[in-house]
């Protein structure tokens, strides 16, 4: 019964979100919602390896690979970005293979540090490979408004595309979590050695999870580039925006859960923009101090994230619903 109610609530919220651009013409409002949906999808993609306990801080690498793949194909070879989506996902997945094959057996902070190094190496390659990437100058997306060019004169189409991406990616993570892969990942996160003893190939599970995560992140990189119309190495491989931000969203919302990334992105994206706008003008980097305090408070007082506060309420309601028929029977 509770699951049905959640579906009804989710459908109602989705319909409301579809109507927002019809009532709000503000560019800022549409931009903020677009960013929330974008970071919801990005955090959900980042969260897939977290089902298995792997904390990656190098997702900016997959993001940048997908962004450059789509932009280069469009600007230099005239390939539609809608076709470039496949290339963005494929090249980002290839980057995931390059990272995972030598490093997948690393655990904990060792994997995390290696993922950061991988993103930094790719950033340096993008700066030095000028014949392909234009180096630090970057690549500008021509403003040719058309659906096939993924270029529009208003922010409404990007709003709906980002909303669709968020819904699709969250749904995919839900299916992955409750698939055989998801159970293997959760078993590995709980006790890797015990899972191996039961016949679970944990290395393969981590590898497949990273492939899913990297491919989705690459597609999101392509979307972001066509949203801002320009890419250059410092921004597109930014650890702050595309590695740390989704990680913070996931940890604060609830890492390794389906709804944790959604909650984290919905709460932290507006807060991040607010802090960057107001505190960034006072002292550069001050916004990250506030972010750090929020993260420390979350880890200290609610280590399971915000979603862990909601889980007992849902379980209690489920127990009450299950016990209600028995109580009514005894009353008769």
Q: pLDDT tens digit string along 172-196?
A: 999 999 999 999 999 988 888 888 8
Strands (E), 144-261: 230-231
Res 193: pLDDT: 87
Res 108: pLDDT: 67
Mean pLDDT within 217-241: 92
Is residue 43 scored above 90 in pLDDT? yes
Mean pLDDT within 8-19: 83
Mean pLDDT within 137-142: 91
Is residue 19 scored above 90 in pLDDT? no
User: Rounded to an integer, what distance in angstroms lies between the CA atom of residue 125 and that of residue 133?
Assistant: 9
Is residue 111 scored above 90 in pLDDT? no
Is residue 322 scored above 80 in pLDDT? no
Res 330: pLDDT: 56
Strands (E), the chain: 139-140, 230-231
Confidence of residue 49 (pLDDT cuts 50, 70, 90): very high
Res 21: pLDDT: 87
174 burial type by CB count under 10 A (0-12 exposed, 13-18 middle, 19+ buried):
middle
User: Rounded to an integer, what distance in angstroms lies between the CA atom of residue 127 and that of residue 21?
Assistant: 38
User: Rounded to an integer, what distance in angstroms lies between the CA atom of residue 276 and that of residue 194?
Assistant: 45
Is residue 212 scored above 90 in pLDDT? yes
Is residue 265 scored above 70 in pLDDT? yes
Specify the residue for token string 């990007």: 158
- Compute, in degrees rounded to 10, the torsion defined by CA atoms 194, 198, 199, 205: -50
CA 179 to each of CA 51, 151, 186, 209: distance values in angstroms, whole numbers, following the listed order: 12, 37, 11, 12
Is residue 109 scored above 80 in pLDDT? no
Res 327: pLDDT: 52
Confidence of residue 276 (pLDDT cuts 50, 70, 90): confident
Mean pLDDT, the chain, whole residue set = 85
> Whole domain around residue 27: which residue ranges?
2-331
**Greater confidence, 66 or 106?**
66
- Identify the bridge partners of residue 151 per DSSP, sorted by sequence position: 146
Confidence of residue 314 (pLDDT cuts 50, 70, 90): low
Dump pLDDT digits (tens) for 286-297: 777 777 788 888
Distance of CA 63 to the CA centre of its chain: 10
**Greater confidence, 165 or 15?**
165
Is residue 328 scored above 70 in pLDDT? no
Q: Mean pLDDT check: name the lowest of 47-51, 54-58, 210-214, 324-328.
A: 324-328
Res 220: pLDDT: 96
Number of domains comprising the chain: 1
Confidence of residue 324 (pLDDT cuts 50, 70, 90): low
Res 93: pLDDT: 94
Is residue 100 scored above 70 in pLDDT? yes
Is residue 319 scored above 90 in pLDDT? no
């Amino acid at each position: 019964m509770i699951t049905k109610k959640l579906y009804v609530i989710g459908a109602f919220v989705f319909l409301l979100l579809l109507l927002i651009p019809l009532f709000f013409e503000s560019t800022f409002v549409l931009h903020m919602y677009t960013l929330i949906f974008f970071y919801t999808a990005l955090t959900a993609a980042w969260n897939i390896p977290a089902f298995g306990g792997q904390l990656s801080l190098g997702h900016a690498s997959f993001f940048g690979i997908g962004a450059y793949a789509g932009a280069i194909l469009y600007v230099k070879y005239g390939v539609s970005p809608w076709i470039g989506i496949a290339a963005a996902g494929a090249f980002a997945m290839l980057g995931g293979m390059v990272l995972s094959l030598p490093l997948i057996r690393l655990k904990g902070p060792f994997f995390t540090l290696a993922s950061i190094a991988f993103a930094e190496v790719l950033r340096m390659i993008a700066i030095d490979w000028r014949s392909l990437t234009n180096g630090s100058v970057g690549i500008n997306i021509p403003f040719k408004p058309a659906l096939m060019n993924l270029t529009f004169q208003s922010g409404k189409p990007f709003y709906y595309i980002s909303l669709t991406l968020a819904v699709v990616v969250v749904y995919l993570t839900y299916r992955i979590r409750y698939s055989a892969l998801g159970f293997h990942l959760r078993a590995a996160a709980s006790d890797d050695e015990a899972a191996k003893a039961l016949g679970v190939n944990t290395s393969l599970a981590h590898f497949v999870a990273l492939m899913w995560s990297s491919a989705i992140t690459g597609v999101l990189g392509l979307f972001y580039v066509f949203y801002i119309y320009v890419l250059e190495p410092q921004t597109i491989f930014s650890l702050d925006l595309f590695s740390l931000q989704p990680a913070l969203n996931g940890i604060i919302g609830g890492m390794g859960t389906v709804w944790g990334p959604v909650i984290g992105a919905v709460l932290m994206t507006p807060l991040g923009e607010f802090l960057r706008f107001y505190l960034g003008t006072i002292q550069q980097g001050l916004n990250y101090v506030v972010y750090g305090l929020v993260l420390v408070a979350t880890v200290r007082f609610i280590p399971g994230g915000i979603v862990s506060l909601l889980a007992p309420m849902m379980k209690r309601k489920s127990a009450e619903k299950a016990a209600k028929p028995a109580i009514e029977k005894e009353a008769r």
